[in-house]
Amino acid sequence: MRIVLGVGGGIAAYKAASLLRLFTESGHDVTVIPTEAATRFVGTATWEALSGHPVSNSVWDDVDKVNHVRLGHEADLIVIAPATADVLARAAAGLADDLLTGTLLMARGPVVMAPAMHTEMWQHAATRANVETLRSRGITIIEPASGRLTGADTGPGRLPEPAEIHAAALAAHAAARTAHAGGALHGKRVTISVGGTREALDPVRFLGNRSSGKQGMALAEAALAQGAHVTLVLAHAEVAPPRGCDVVRVESALQLRDAVIAALPATDVLVMAAAVADFRPAEVVATKIKKNDDGADPVLTLVRNPDVLREAVLTRDAGPAGTGDARPLVIAGFAAETGDATADPLTHARAKLARKGCDFLVLNVVGSDLVFGEDSNEVTIIGADGSESAPVRGSKRVVADAVMSHAAGLLSR
């Protein structure tokens, strides 16, 4: 396919050379458009030699070829790596003051941006708003990795590894193609539980967990891209839901259970991505709990919450008797496993899959470097039919595309 690789003016521009190699070595025809600032980091000669095409960042070169129109129109995929804060801002504002931003306005295919910048710039309200604007227009923005930045500082803002950008870009292209062809989930109703529940202790305190909701939101984006109608049952999350979903907000596990069960009759695919608290305080005190004057330690009594995934399976399996219309047709859960002295993560996950009775589990093998809040992931999809996918590695969106494609495959059986 024809790819336009935009390169922003950041120190990570050198990594785009490896990304370019990954694209050309997998048989794609790549035209590189660096910004003016990017050429201060890597010269045009490098891009010309590696891509085999002339390189320019001006709309005034080769005017007879009308490059600022042609390149965007002809590209099957546009990837910008690194996307600096400046490139994100100019793209969000719809500026067309160089060949790269002009090309973006002419894009017909999917656009994937891999931002890289200092943590403060990435977290600045202006950048957050630009990212949200671009995402709402259907652009895939890969979350930057955390780690060492240009100087001695560390934090989110690093360009993800070229292999990860390569995989995310091809996944976005594949998803766009499927959506174009009607979408593997076209017309299907997908319900996804997202985020972490909060179990109230009193009016000001709760028991919570570290779920960021990022994987659930990525699932929603993937389902939307495949043409589904998406309902989010949304507990507490750090990130906003993508545009185009119906959102049912909940706080506690019990509220989440009620919302999920209510959604089942109008759901074709249920994905339980929420971190549902297994326990809640036995009693919610109506007024703020005070420290005791006698200095005694408080004692909390917890009770078990329902297993929502299991209940959804039982509700489906009980079904409207004899109508053959039991919904959802596909139910999936997530399992985070470490393995222990008794069994490896896969064995634990197989046992969990059997206990839950759902159609497949997305197994996350976790170690001390927990995946909570991280932007990338590695999972294996294990099926009730005994199947086991190859490991899926990459951003949460890459994982989400694989999960939704797996669900679509089961629906079409």
Residues that bind ligand CTP (CB under 6 A): 253, 272, 274, 276, 278, 305, 307-309, 333-336, 352
Q: Decide: 53 and 30 in contact? Cβ < 8 Å.
A: yes
First to last CA, the chain: 30
Q: What is the DSSP string of 139-164?
A: -EEPPPEEEE-SSS-EEEEEPPPHHH
**CA 371 – CA 124 distance, rounded (Å):** 24
Q: Which two tokens stand for residue 384?
A: 């009730």
> Which CB atom, from 287 or from 342, has the smaller least distance to ligand CTP?
342
Burial of 318 (0-12, 13-18, 19+ CB in 10 A): exposed
Q: How many helices (H) and strands (E) does the chain have?
A: 13, 19
209 flagged as catalytic: yes
Q: How far is the CB of 243 from ligand CTP (least distance, A)?
A: 24
Residue 64 or 340 having the CB closest to ligand CTP: 340
| Residue type, position 205, single letter | R
User: CA-CA distance, 197 to 253, in Å (whole number)?
Assistant: 6
Q: How far is the CB of 213 from ligand CTP (least distance, A)?
A: 12
| Residue of 67, 209, 364, 377 marked catalytic | 209
Q: Residue number with the shortest CB distance to ligand CTP?
A: 333
Three-state SS annotation for 244-276:
CCEEEECCCHHHHHHHHHHHHHHCCEEEECCEC
Q: Which is closer to ligand CTP, CB of 63 or CB of 370?
A: 370
Q: Which is nearer to ligand CTP, 17 or 308 (CB)?
A: 308
Could you tell me the smallest distance in angstroms from the CB atom of residue 329 to ligand CTP?
17
User: 304 by DSSP, 3-state: which?
Assistant: strand
Toward ligand CTP, which CB reaches closer, 103 or 212?
A: 212
In angstroms, rounded to a whole number, what is the distance separating the alpha carbons of residues 325 and 411?
14
For residue 254, the minimal CB distance to ligand CTP (Å) is 10
Question: Is 235 in contact with 244 (CB distance < 8 Å)?
Answer: no
Q: Which residues are catalytic?
A: 209
